[in-house]
Amino acid sequence: MEEGISTEEKILKAAEEVFIRDGYDGSRMQDIADVAGINKALLHYYFRSKDKLFEKVFDAKIQGFFPQVDEVFNQDILFIDKIYFFIEGYIELLRKNPYLPLFVLNTVNSKDKSEFIKKLPIQLSRKVAESYQTDLKKGRVRMLNPAQFIISLMGMCIFPFLAKPILLDMFQADNVTFDALMQDRIQELKTYIKLILQP
Amino acid sequence: MEEGISTEEKILKAAEEVFIRDGYDGSRMQDIADVAGINKALLHYYFRSKDKLFEKVFDAKIQGFFPQVDEVFNQDILFIDKIYFFIEGYIELLRKNPYLPLFVLNTVNSKDKSEFIKKLPIQLSRKVAESYQTDLKKGRVRMLNPAQFIISLMGMCIFPFLAKPILLDMFQADNVTFDALMQDRIQELKTYIKLILQP
DNA sequence: CTTAGATTTAACCAGATGGTTAAACTTTTT
DNA sequence: AAAAAGTTTAACCATCTGGTTAAATCTAAG
């Protein structure tokens, strides 16, 4: 654990690591303290409870689950190009935060944290749908169900990171080849999207 | 809890419910005993430990994560039709077992159960790839990366069930409309697959 | 320098947890 | 019917867990 950062920050970094690795139920306050290199009582001094600490970590990480769509979708460009940019951005983001999807999905699926769903900055569906309708009217894209399209797009981006251990086994891959696969996947998904969208 | 079934079966049913609902770390042996309507000591009498009980449940459920692909892929039909059958079968299966994906993915991603990956009956990738090559040679399908295709196919089938709470919020849906969306999704995915595969 | 406020420490706490034990009870076998 | 085997129970156990407490230590302010 590095010098020069506050105890609060040490705790947040350690908590993030442990919560992501072990999940909420599997995480121990003593483990977080050990990783942070501090006395366990400080966790309560600074954050009051395990719940609140988790919430703080979740709040910090959640902003990354849905990348800022404004920059992409407010541009005056073709819908399909917006989707390309989205794919590039999202897969890059997931490559840097490969454990994020499972962390978020576990949280929103857990029964005592389902209200955390309200914390998700979900503008994606609206932005995509509006942008899609614009291009549909101009005959630039095929008619399809925007909701289903968004689900598919997200599924194709996110799923491999969730299923990484399975895919490593399935394709006799290691971390290096998996990452290359994810790199290649950007182009692959663009191809699919083009085939699906072009009228 | 029903009459006429053995204590062992009672425990397995209850354990399945609780492990799926709360995850391994979040599950308590007393909870499982309560759901089963038995004394907690019986869990150890019949299954020796929480670990072993979990493994038994996992073994039972895992067979369903990858549906039997033999029936579908051994048929002498077009590759694309095989994929259609796969989609129908898999989405139906997931609609009946909506919590299964998260259960499995959590298990294979957890650090002390990663060896469970070996229990997955993974013939899917090989079957799909072989079948795809056959049709490729006959010019029935477009050239693409089979691994990426499989990942996408599975992602589009599985992801919505993992992200259900998010999607409910995102699309202002409830359980009924979500299920209808999953029903409709079969046709939608077939459309995508057709567009992607046709030469 | 002293005081006040902030931070940290080590010990402690009540309840929870997976698991154990021995006795009681039930079913099967002889 | 009695004995043996199998099942169940209630109590118990050592350890773990999130959290608390009061004293010690550190830092900032006057």
Q: Each residue's pLDDT tens digit in chain A (199 positions)?
A: 555 789 999 999 999 999 999 999 999 999 999 999 999 999 999 999 999 999 999 999 988 777 667 788 888 899 999 999 999 999 999 999 999 999 999 999 998 888 888 888 778 888 899 999 999 999 999 999 999 999 999 999 999 999 999 999 999 999 999 999 999 999 999 999 999 999 8
Write down the pLDDT at residue B2: 53
Claim to verify: residue A130 and residue A191 sit in the same structural domain: yes
Per-residue burial over B114-130, b if 16 or more Cβ lie within 10 Å, else e, is eebbebbebebbebbbe
CA neighbor of A176 nearest in space, from A95, A116, A114: A95
Yes or no: say if B99 and B20 are a contact pair by the CB < 8 Å rule. yes
**CA B22 – C1' C24 distance (Å)?**
34
Q: Contact, B10 vs B38, CB < 8 A?
A: yes
Say yes or no for a CB contact (<8 Å) between A181 and B109: no
Looking across all nucleic acid strands, the nucleotide with the smallest C1' to CA distance from residue B8 is: D7
pLDDT at B125: 87
- CATH at B23: 1.10.10.60
* Same domain membership, residue A116 and residue A82: yes
Inter-residue contact B159 to B41 (CB < 8 Å): no
Mark whether A52 and A117 lie in a shared domain.
no
**Neighbouring residues of A72: CB distance < 8 A, sequence distance ≥ 6:** A82, A85, A86, A89
CA pair distance B118, B53, nearest whole angstrom: 18
Same domain, residue pair B51 and B77: no
Instruction: Indicate whether B1 belongs to any domain.
Output: no
Token pair for residue A126? 């609206």
- Take residue A88 and report the two structure tokens written for it: 């590039």
Per-residue pLDDT at A193: 97
What is the rounded CA–CA span in Å between residue A136 and residue A127? 14
| Residue A62 structure tokens | 């959640």
Q: Which residues of A touch B170 (CB under 8 A)?
A: 122, 124-125, 150
The answer to whether residue B152 is domain-embedded is yes
Cα Rg for chain A, rounded, in angstroms?
20
Same domain, B57 and B127: no
Residues A57 and A74 in one domain: no
Tell me which residue has tokens 């490729």: B136
Taking only the tens place, the pLDDT of each residue in B148-157 is 999 999 999 9
Give domain status of residue A1, yes or no. no
Q: What is the pLDDT of residue B118?
A: 86
Q: Count up the domains in chain A and report the number.
A: 2
pLDDT recorded at residue A118: 85
Within 10 angstroms of residue B176's Cβ, the number of other Cβ atoms is 8
Mutate to test the interface with B, among A54, A128, A170 (most CBs of B within 10 A): A170
B78 DSSP 8-state letter: -
Q: Are residues B104 and B141 in the same domain?
A: yes
The dihedral through the CA atoms of B157, A97, A90, A166 has a sign that is negative
Residue B190 and residue B96 share a domain: yes
pLDDT, residue A196, reads: 97
Q: What is the mean pLDDT of each run of 10 residues along chain B (199 residues)?
A: 80 97 96 97 97 95 78 89 94 94 95 85 85 94 95 97 94 95 97 96
Q: Clarify whether residues A92 and A172 are in a common domain.
A: yes
CA count, 13 A, side-chain hemisphere, A35:
19
What is the distance between the alpha carbons of residues A154 and A151, in angstroms, rounded to a whole number? 5
How many degrees, rounded to 5, is the angle at CA B166 between CA A54 and CA A170? 90
| Sign of the torsion angle spanned by Cα atoms B35, B36, B38, B40 | negative
Residue whose tokens read 């042996």: B29
Query: Distance (Å) from the C-alpha of residue A194 to the closest C-alpha of chain B?
Result: 9
Q: Which residue among A108, A125, A154 places its CB closest to the CB of B159? A: A154
A151: its two tokens:
């689900």
Residue in B143, B145, B146, B149 with CA at minimum distance from that of residue B192: B149
DSSP string, B103-140: HHHHHHHSTTSGGGGGGS---HHHHHHHHHHHHHHTT-
Range of the domain at B121: 70-197
Report the pLDDT value the prediction gives residue A90, as an integer from 0 to 100: 93
Which of B37, B61, B85 is at the close of a domain?
B61
Amino acid B119: pLDDT = 84
Interface of B with A in 137-196 (CB under 8 A): 144-145, 147-148, 150-152, 154-160, 162-167, 169-171, 181, 184-185, 188-189, 191-192, 195-196
CA A103/CA A57 separation, integer angstroms: 11
Nucleotides of C under 7 A from a protein CB: 7-11, 16-22
Give yes or no: residues B78 and B56 share one domain: no
pLDDT value at position A152?
A: 97
Residue B110 placed within a domain: yes
Residue B32, in any domain of the structure: yes
Residue B174 lies in a domain: yes
Q: Is residue B2 part of a domain?
A: no
My answer on whether A192 and A111 are in the same domain is yes
CA distance A31 to A164: 26
Mutation site for A-interface testing, chosen from B166, B171, B175, B181 by largest number of A Cβ within 10 Å? B166
Say yes or no: B79 and B54 in one domain.
Answer: no
B147 inside domain = yes
d(CA B88, CA B85): 5
Q: Would you say the C-beta of B134 is within 7 Å of strand D?
A: no
Q: What is the pLDDT of residue A3?
A: 59
